[in-house]
């Protein structure tokens, strides 16, 4: 199996209560692919950068089995840039700057080798670009997942709803769920999103874990309680990358396997927040992931013998 992902490959300026990082590597597709590469190969990226993006990061991605054939490089132009400041609770942040740069005119072109991929992760970027990727697939993928952000809910709601109608799994945070549906209850909001198209909905709740909705079933995955969170940037994308990488690697779309995938996604996100930018993902080994997933299992395991 393989996994195709589209999303930003970017530079970020980040400010959190524990520090600042300027002009560091970020972007949805960067985090997604680095997380997913632990579970499935190859990962196929569709994205765009300027000629300012570090070759060292591209080499790192290639070394992890990430295929960059669908990554366009625009000479003389600048990569997507985002800057954000986190509040003390680390679950909320303000976007200070979004400079689309190369993304403003991006027309994704899928190499022929990408067009029959079974698993597609439409990472956060312009909804019209996410749609163009679906349109170029020669066969309907087994599973199409999509992540988005308040920026697109505010600026491109109609085209976002159109692409949501074509997908199987929506990955979205609690605040964006409420913004998208106008409904405060996440249970009612998930029902409304089911009616828009997706069979599965994964709602991320930051340090409070994630919920997976499927028909009338719901599953909860905790987040690992961590003493220090350095930088939550990319945690959502890393969650999506771990989840989709695990699904593509196993090829199993049963609800039971989706539950495992949500736990793998949560485990990957717990690494991401331990350092700024992609730093923790660069050095992650398979054994770190196994140990971390076991901590999740231990975190929620309890004896359910009832005494009443
Ligand atoms: P996350 O923290 O998972 O929401 O992802 C943060 C990453 O998304 C950062 O590395 C940014 O470069 C990227 N990003 C921020 N805003 C946008 C946007 N409007 N569209 C696409 N990617 C974005």
Q: Confidence band (pLDDT; 50, 70, 90) for 104?
A: very high
Which atom in ligand 1 lies closest to the alpha carbon of residue 240? Answer: 3
Q: What is the pLDDT of residues 263-275, one digit of tens each?
A: 999 999 999 999 9
Ranges of H-type helices in the chain: 28-36, 55-63, 127-136, 150-155, 157-164, 174-181, 186-196, 235-250, 255-272, 279-282, 286-300
- Quote the ligand 1 centre to 32 CA distance (angstroms): 11
- Quote the ligand 1 centre to 102 CA distance (angstroms): 15
Block residue for tokens 């670009």 = 129
At 15, is the secondary structure helix, strand, or coil?
strand
Query: E strand or H helix at 80, and its extent?
Result: strand 80-86
Q: What is the pLDDT of residues 196-249, one digit of tens each?
A: 999 999 999 999 999 999 988 999 999 999 998 999 999 999 999 999 999 999
For ligand 1, atom 12, name the residue with the nearest CA. 27
- Quote the ligand 1 centre to 61 CA distance (angstroms): 18
> What integer is the mean pLDDT of 265-291?
97
For ligand 1, atom 1, name the residue with the nearest CA. 234
Residue 5 neighbours by CB distance under 10 Å: 32
Pocket of ligand 1 (CB under 6 A): 8, 10, 12, 26-28, 82, 98, 124-125, 149, 151, 233-237
Q: Confidence band (pLDDT; 50, 70, 90) for 304?
A: confident
The four Cα atoms 73, 32, 27, 178 give a dihedral, to 10 degrees, of 140
d(CA 70, CA 31): 16
Which atom in ligand 1 lies closest to the alpha carbon of residue 12? Answer: 12
d(CA 31, CA 169): 18
Residue 91 has pLDDT above 90, yes or no: no
């Amino acid at each position: 199996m393989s996994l195709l992902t589209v999303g930003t490959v970017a530079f970020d300026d980040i400010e959190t209560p524990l520090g600042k990082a300027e002009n560091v590597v970020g972007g949805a597709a960067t985090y997604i692919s680095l997380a997913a590469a632990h579970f499935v190969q190859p990962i196929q990226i569709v994205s765009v950068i300027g000629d300012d993006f570090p070759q060292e990061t591209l080499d790192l991605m290639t070394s992890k089995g990430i295929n960059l054939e669908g990554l366009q490089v625009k000479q003389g132009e600048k990569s997507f840039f985002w800057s954000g400041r986190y509040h003390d609770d680390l679950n909320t942040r303000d976007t200070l700057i979004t400079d689309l740069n190369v993304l403003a005119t991006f027309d994704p072109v899928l190499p022929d080798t990408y067009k029959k991929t079974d698993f597609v992760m439409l990472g956060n970027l312009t909804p019209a670009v996410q749609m163009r990727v679906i349109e170029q697939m020669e066969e309907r993928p087994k599973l199409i997942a999509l992540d988005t952000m308040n920026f697109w809910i505010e600026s491109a709601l109609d085209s976002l709803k159109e692409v949501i109608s074509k997908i199987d799994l929506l990955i979205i945070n609690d605040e964006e769920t409420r913004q998208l549906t106008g409904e405060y209850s996440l249970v009612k909001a998930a029902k409304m999103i089911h009616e828009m198209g997706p069979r599965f909905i994964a709602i991320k709740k930051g340090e409070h874990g994630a919920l997976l909705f499927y028909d009338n079933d719901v599953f909860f995955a905790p987040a690992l309680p961590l003493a220090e969170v350095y930088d939550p940037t990319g945690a959502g994308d890393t969650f999506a990358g771990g989840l989709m990488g695990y699904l593509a690697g196993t090829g199993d779309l049963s609800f039971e396997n989706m539950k495992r995938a949500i736990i793998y996604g949560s485990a990957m996100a717990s690494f991401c927040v331990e350092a700024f930018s992609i730093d923790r993902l660069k050095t992650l080994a398979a054994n770190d992931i196994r140990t971390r997933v076991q901590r999740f299992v231990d975190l929620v395991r309890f004896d359910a013998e009832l005494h009443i």
